Structure 1
Amino acid sequence: MRVLISSIAAHGHTYPLLPFAIAAREAGHEVTYAIAPSFHPLVERLGFRPVAAGGEIREAFGQVWAQSGKDPRDRFSTPPNEVMAMAGRVFGEVLPRRTAADLAPVLAELRPDVVVHEAGDLGAGLAAKVAGIRGLCHGFGRVAGGKMLARAGDHVGGLAAELGLDPAVVAGPGLGDPFLDVCPRSLQDPAFLAAFTPDRAPRVPLRSVPFAEPAPLPAWVGEPGPPLVYLTLGTAFAEGSVLRTAIDGLGRLPARVLVAAGPMIDAALVDDLPDTVRVEQWVPQADVLPHAALVVHHGGSGTTLGALASGVPQLLLPQCADQFDNAGAVLAVGAGRRLLPGEATPDAVAEVASSLLNDPEPRAAAGVVAREIAGMPSPAEVVAALLV
């Protein structure tokens, strides 16, 4: 079977799809990956043929921010509802318009049997419908981060009409296609779950498998010693002052602290570190998580689900986008704590992190969710069921 998989060129949108893509290839299917050029090197390293589709997410956000008359540097102080409104335009209009146009000739030439489109990549799903090709929608996390997707839906109907589609047909989660949901039911938004009525395409549970590009772990990570605390603010919205605050707080603990600065913060600029803290530009997160006693992070979908899959408690420092919803979901199941903007000081970080390291209840709650995730169908099982 010829399979085209498409996602937005961002780590949080692409990494969740790669285990499914790898499973499809291992099952003998011919897999092509559609994504903006910045991610082609990754796709090629994994052995997939890339095709260019869609714009760069930062450029799309820059365009919408500029049209709003706001300074992008104010993104952390802009009210969340305004950020979500702008994100709705990015994911419901700017990016899908470009992706649908780019994929039209690709689909005409390749004629895949199925298009697997990531939940934020609505343009690929629309292009598949225009071409009369079966679509599957692959989630990347909790869909009440679906506030963003719901805002995108406010715009995508107009684009669907321009493409000759009935807007009613593409309404709802996943443009009406079967939805491969990597979020365990206990964390998923109840309103999203309720949308899957008998008259619409199904929600298909799919185990979240943390993905990491192959890279060596610092040798000391797996060595005996004080508990390991892993700190990351992700790849999209990291703020240097928040990272510094977290480092200053965690450096007071009797723990080893591994910091992944990511692409938004230059690790070389994070200096004057406590002796127990080590900063790396990039680490293979999926390989780090099983060693961690605590994960301190921004609340991105991949890190949230990855920590839960490893049964690790979390301290969340949400800043924007779907991070607040993810943090609230972790709190609701008792698997971690949260410090909102304005609450996160070095003292508060140290106090809450110490509590999480010493309190067995959050770890037990995380373990319950880890077992739920482990019981979900694997990518190989879902590939065998759906790619027929």
Structure 2
Amino acid sequence: MRVLFACMATVGHTYPLIPLASALRNAGHEVHFAVGEEMHPELERLGLRPFRPGLSFGEIYAGDIAPELERVLPDLVISGWSVPEVFREAKRRAFPVLWHGFGRMFDDGIGLARPDGGRHLDLCPPSLQNADFTDDRILLRPVPHATPGRVPERTHEKLVYVTFGTVFGTEELLATAVGDLGRLDAQIVVATPDRWLPQAEVIKQADVVVHHGGSGTMLTALAEGVPQVVLPRGADQFGNAEALVKAGAGVRPDAVGAEAVAQCVRLLLTDGRYREAAGLIADEISHMPSPEEVADRLAEVV
């Protein structure tokens, strides 16, 4: 089977698609990946045949993908939520097509057009999914992908990981978030745009994660049962923060300040109820179908 993936050229939109793409490739299928050139080195390393569609850089428009559909002639198109014109153009040209999510279904007004209709590969554990997202879904376990790197050596019994992603991690915000964390008896590991870390491996060691509410970081921490302090900055992050707080697996400070963040981290380090709630979601995620299991089923869709 020849499968064409397409998404926006950012880590947050590309990396969630990689586990299924790799599972399909490992199962002997021919995988192609339409995305901007920033993502090509990692996709090439994994053997996923990336190419830049048309004149696209981030978004992919119908005029970019139309000739590529006729060139690749895929048996199945998998369109990330961030590139709705790929889904619509594939459907218009009668190619079998699925959406691929990156987390909770987002509300209108965040800068992305909400996917309308069709069938979705859904990475979000059902207990956290947006209640008004009722489209047909294929559950797919969120498996974090990260480029290889060095994990900092452990120096304390407790470890707090701080990240604000590739878009929102400004020096000012990071300085505010970590300002009072040094007073805690814990190792503080900070990822910055200039000092990126193998996040999935770091989170496996973490006792608390402090972040912006991005879907990738949220799901990676939940899969490991790690409670979270969330400081949403935009996009889908406010909805993610609300869902985490409602589930009891995280807290959101009343204000973005060093003292408030430190108080929240201290709470999660000492109150086991948050880790227990996160552990319940981790168990839920572990029972979702793996990328390999879903890859085996996709032939039924074609």
Question: Which category describes the TM-score, using the shorter chain as reference length?
Answer: over 0.9
Counterpart CA distance in 2 for 1:288 and 1:363 is: 17
Aligned counterpart for 1:188 among listed residues 109, 124, 129: 129
1:25-174 aligned within 5 A: 25-53=25-53, 55-57=56-58, 95=59, 98-143=60-105, 145-148=106-109, 152-153=113-114, 173=115
**What's the C-alpha RMSD, in Å, of the aligned pairs?**
1.6
Query: For the Cα contact (< 8 Å) 1:312–1:366, is it kept in 2?
Result: yes
Query: For the Cα contact (< 8 Å) 1:7–1:117, is it kept in 2?
Result: yes
Amino acid at match of 1:345: G
Counterpart CA distance in 2 for 1:292 and 1:184 is: 21
Q: Answer yes or no: is 1:332 the counterpart of 2:246.
A: yes
Deviations for 1:234-267, whole angstroms, at most 9, x for unmatched residues?
11222321210111121111100000002xxx5x
Distance change >3 Å, CA 150–CA 381, structure 1 → 2: farther
Distance change >3 Å, CA 149–CA 107, structure 1 → 2: farther
Runs of 4+, deviation exceeding 6 Å: none
Q: Secondary structure at the match of 1:339?
A: coil
Query: For the Cα contact (< 8 Å) 1:318–1:339, is it kept in 2?
Result: no
Aligned counterpart for 1:178 among listed residues 85, 94, 119: 119
Runs of at least 5 residues in structure 2 that lack an aligned partner in the other structure:
none
Instruction: Tell me the percent identity.
Output: 46
Deviations for 1:317-374, whole angstroms, at most 9, x for unmatched residues?
111111111000000000010025xx12111111111111011000000000000000
2:294 aligns with 382
Distance change >3 Å, CA 151–CA 259, structure 1 → 2: closer
Counterpart CA distance in 1 for 2:180 and 2:23 is: 41
Q: Answer yes or no: is 1:289 the counterpart of 2:289.
A: no
1:14 aligns with 14
Query: For the Cα contact (< 8 Å) 1:216–1:284, is it kept in 2?
Result: yes
* Larger-Rg structure: 1
Query: For the Cα contact (< 8 Å) 1:308–1:367, is it kept in 2?
Result: yes
Aligned length: 299
TM-score by length of 1: 0.74
Amino acid at match of 1:181: D
Counterpart CA distance in 1 for 2:11 and 2:281 is: 23
1:347 aligns with 259
Counterpart CA distance in 2 for 1:306 and 1:249 is: 25
Deviations for 1:150-199, whole angstroms, at most 9, x for unmatched residues?
9625xxxxxxxxxxxxxxxxxxx4x432101100111111011xx33xxx
- Cα displacement (A) at 1:39: 1.2
